[in-house]
Amino acid sequence: MSVQAAVAPRTAQKSAQVVLEARRIHKVFGGLVAVNNLSFTVYEGEILAIIGPNGAGKTTVFNLLTGVLPLDGGEIIFRGHRLNGLPPHAIARLGMARTFQNVHLFDNMTVLENVMVGRHPRSRYGFLEAALRVPWARREEQEIREHSTACLELVGMADLADELAGNLPFGQQRLVELARALATEPACLLLDEPASGLSHQEVAALDALIRRLRDEQGITILLIEHDMHLVMGIADRVVVINYGEKIAEGTPEEVQADERVIAAYLGEDL
């Protein structure tokens, strides 16, 4: 079955549809400006990497996009909806999914159950239907299980479905988290340092998986990553931020040549 039934096939031209637009978004933590009037646009079907030195405000951007933190200024438009003030669950329902830098799995649940939670925004039966086990709730439960299994197969974790998520090694937890995000049928997938803590082989597999998600499922991907090899190989475009401000934007080749980027990364390997 198709994991990505809800999303239209991606358009060939890059110039096409805008999926997500951040307009002068701003965030302050107790006087410290974490994100400073940052604007960027994400087009349908592209892989956009956000890079920057540690503490540049990348994860804060993700938290603003997913409604985890409220905006202090600016606005976010996602598939025609203004996200300002929406709670995280409403944004998830609109088709935004994410993973976390330090993996937030539901440790007390099995791998499959974790992914099944990802089906939450695409199913609707509630307390009453669950309590009475009405037939359509059981049908929906069946759909949830099948779709979640399909997502686990996609990331190659189906044989560990009944393991407790908290017991898995870190690399596999990342994959489960990715499957959980995919189960929400995202139009846009936000990956927060998906390669950190992975071995070389695992990074290579991740690289292939991200490409597949974009090519076969048409998912637009926003990526925060420190592994520059991965970023430069996979990203269509790169946005570089430092101190919460955008200092460069362009193709991987363009940003690598940018003097401000080199200055910001002084001493770090690009």
Partner 1 sequence: MSTVNRKTGLPGRFQLADWITHHQNLAAFLALAAMLAILPLWVTNNYQRSILVFIGFNTMLTVGLSLLMGYTGQISLGHAVFFGCGAYITGLLTARYNWSPWPAIVAAAVLTGLLAYLVGVPIFKLRGHYLAMATLGLNIIFETVVVTETGWTGGSNGLLGIPRLSIGPWVLKSELSYYYVTWAMTLAILAVSLNIVNSRVGRALRAIHASELAAGTMGVEVDAFKLKVLTLSAVYASLAGSLFAFYLQIVTPSSFSFIFSIELVVMVAVGGLSSIWGAIFGAASVTLLGEALRNIMPRLVRGASAEAELLAFGLILVIIMIFMPDGLTAGVAKRLRARRQARREAPGRTEQSADAMP
Least spacing, CB of residue 81 vs partner 1, in Å: 15
Name the pairing type of β-strands 73-78 and 188-192: unpaired
- The residues, any chain, with a CB within 8 Å of residue 47's CB and separated by 6 or more, are 210, 211, 214, 220, 221, 223, 234, 235, 236
Binding to partner 1 (CB under 8 A) within 127-166 occurs at: 127, 130-133, 137-138, 140-141, 144
Shorter beta-carbon distance to partner 1: residue 22 or 105: 105
Binding to partner 1 (CB under 8 A) within 55-74 occurs at: 66-68
Neighbours of 153 (CB within 10 A): 14
Least spacing, CB of residue 248 vs partner 1, in Å: 28
Question: Interface mask (CB under 8 A) for partner 1, residues 195-234, using x and -?
Answer: -xxxx--x--------------------------------
Shorter beta-carbon distance to partner 1: residue 186 or 252: 186
Neighbours of 248 (CB within 10 A): 21
89: contact with partner 1 by CB under 8 A: yes
24: contact with partner 1 by CB under 8 A: no
CA 59/CA 55 separation, integer angstroms: 9
**Residue carrying structure tokens 């999914």:** 97
Considering CB under 8 A, how many residues would be counted as binding partner 1?
Answer: 52
Shorter beta-carbon distance to partner 1: residue 133 or 229: 133
Least spacing, CB of residue 99 vs partner 1, in Å: 9
Contact 93, 121 (CB under 8 A): yes
Contact 185, 119 (CB under 8 A): no
Residue 32 exposed, middle or buried by CB count within 10 Å (0-12, 13-18, 19+): exposed
Question: Interface mask (CB under 8 A) for partner 1, residues 93-132, using x and -?
Answer: x---xx-x---xxxxxx---x--xxxxxxxx-xxx--xxx
85: contact with partner 1 by CB under 8 A: no
172: contact with partner 1 by CB under 8 A: yes
Residue 35, beta-bridge partner list: 27
266: contact with partner 1 by CB under 8 A: no
Least spacing, CB of residue 55 vs partner 1, in Å: 20
171: contact with partner 1 by CB under 8 A: yes
Least spacing, CB of residue 198 vs partner 1, in Å: 8
86: contact with partner 1 by CB under 8 A: no
Give the residues lining the site for partner 1 (CB under 8 A).
Answer: 66-68, 87-89, 91-93, 97-98, 100, 104-109, 113, 116-123, 125-127, 130-133, 137-138, 140-141, 144, 168-172, 180-181, 184, 196-199, 202
